[in-house]
Amino acid sequence: MPGLAAGLLILLAGGFALLLPDLPDPASLRLANRQARVTVLAADASLLDERADAGGPHLRLGEISPWLVRAVLAVEDRRFYSHFGFDLFGTARAAVRDLLAGDYVAGGSTITQQLAKNLYLGSERTLLRKLRELLLALWLEARLSKDEILELYLNRVYFGAGAYGAEAAARTYFGKPAHDLELAEAAMLAGLLKAPSRYAPDRDPAAARARAQVVLDAMVEAGFLDPQTAAMAKAQPARPMVAQAGFARHFVDRALDVLTSELGRPTDDRVVRTTLDPALQRVAREALRRRLARLPGAEGAVVVLDSQGAVRALVGGIDRRSPLYDRASLVRRQPGSAFKLFVYAAALANGRSPADIVEDEPLSIAGWSPRNIDGQYRGPVTLEQAFAESLNTVAVRLALETGLGRIAALAKSLGIESELRQVPSLALGTSEITPLELARAALALVTDGRARREYWIERVQDGAGAVLWQHAAQPRRVLDGRTIAALKQLLRTAVERGTGRAARIRGRTVLGKTGTSQEGRDGWFVGFDGSHLVVVWVGRDDYRPVRGLTGGGVPAQIARDILAASPAPPVEIPPATPELDGAAALRRWLEDVFGR
């Protein structure tokens, strides 16, 4: 044991010796924050937005609302005043989660460690960075008091929407100084720290309120608040200011989040060249607005990616009452039959082919009986016909044959991040996902079988034009060429003579898949024309059914409007096979079973 302790001391001393020469005096960090300007450009270099980094004068701890101080301590580091910068219990919990996940996924960082990362380190998630973070945290604890560390943290931490520090966050979201924040407002701001994009009150008010309730419960558990006061704050949640949406506000907000994650807080002026195509953005906005006028009470979302994963357009809705509510990237809904993309892809990868004969007949699984949308059964059909007509019984049979775990694993490997419940109804799209997730995962299926993360920024330059960061694609092979060619054949047939006929464009090949959830609550369409992938979702925010809604109706029409306005090279896809009548399908099935 003495030898181990000596070794640890030597390791720490060596780490400090390497780090200390490059570290500034912490006292200098209390100076007023410089206002850096970020200019956001579209792909054609036209101006999308121009924002000043929302910082502000450095506040002393006593100048910040005590409600915010307590709320942050409750959810971020309840043991802050009792540890030395490193929480053994919190780190142990995070290590267990990492081991179970087989990757570095959990944080476990103290406020001091978070401050060290924000001040001195990048955003990479590696064990080496974690070690440096620990050493820097110990150094900060040795140089500063606990109150000074907490004060610096609350002046530097990112709250989303370009707001760094408590003062900027209070003014950005509530139009008041940090000193005047009330309990419900403080809880909502503290809730942002876990994931500023996901819990942003101007983008997803419901998620922000739910997260604020978690914070209030944590304050009660920590002894910072009594249950009665917490209940009153829950009953009267904070009301953030409603900002104007702008031409492409949902897109710009996402792009700036990416900027922060890649380069941290801007200290100098930056020019951000994004991937947005202004012409397609206008077309998508107008198509959504015009088509939804036929469905009173319905909302919608559109995501447009090019074949390399660049986000060319993103529309999160049309509701002027909640213009920043981003349904495209934040709202999870059931994709219905659009999820059959992954069922058929997995089946084709497992050896099936479009010409295979399968049975469309009644099926019962533990009391559950999937039905086709028209209530009819067609008997022996090809996989191609079953996909084109979106037959539910066939999809469930294929899913059980292929394996629910294999289908879920494929969808995850392509970019679905939401939970996928491995039950038979997974084949019919009962697990909720976002439109952005579906677009990300579907892109590989309609291009070359390589998974690509969507990207929002082409490059970032400083005020003098020097490139600070540039997008670098890292595609990853998931499916082989044979599988992709067969799936494209199915997708082409679905548009030419299946449920996606409303997306046909004269003189252009369109691939597509429709999706409709139970009782018409959600309508989806995934379409690709060789240059652009379009995902459209339509439904109501309150989850009520929309009369007459199917994926092959308004969603397919919206996708057609957008694709028709986009330049499209020819798509190299095998021609669809001639449609089989019942007798021909039966004859082929008999030949497969008994031979010629």
Q: Could you give the residue numbers annotated as active site?
A: 76, 337
CA dihedral 555, 561, 562, 568 (to 10 degrees): 120
Q: What kind and span of H or E run contains 131?
A: helix 127-143
Rounded distance between C-alpha atoms, residue 441 and residue 410, angstroms: 9
Rounded distance between C-alpha atoms, residue 508 and residue 569, angstroms: 9
Rounded distance between C-alpha atoms, residue 278 and residue 282, angstroms: 6
Rounded distance between C-alpha atoms, residue 191 and residue 189, angstroms: 5
Rounded distance between C-alpha atoms, residue 155 and residue 56, angstroms: 9
Nearest to 327 by CA among 535, 550, 187, 557: 535
- Is residue 91 within 8 A of residue 108, CB to CB? The reply is yes
Q: Which amino acid is at 61?
A: L
- Is residue 376 within 8 A of residue 357, CB to CB? The reply is no
Rounded distance between C-alpha atoms, residue 13 and residue 16, angstroms: 5
- Is residue 232 within 8 A of residue 439, CB to CB? The reply is no
Nearest to 255 by CA among 439, 456, 454, 435: 456
Quick one: CA dihedral 421, 422, 425, 429, positive or negative? positive
- Is residue 509 within 8 A of residue 573, CB to CB? The reply is yes
Nearest to 462 by CA among 310, 263, 252: 263
Rounded distance between C-alpha atoms, residue 18 and residue 569, angstroms: 55
Q: What is the DSSP letter of 310?
A: B
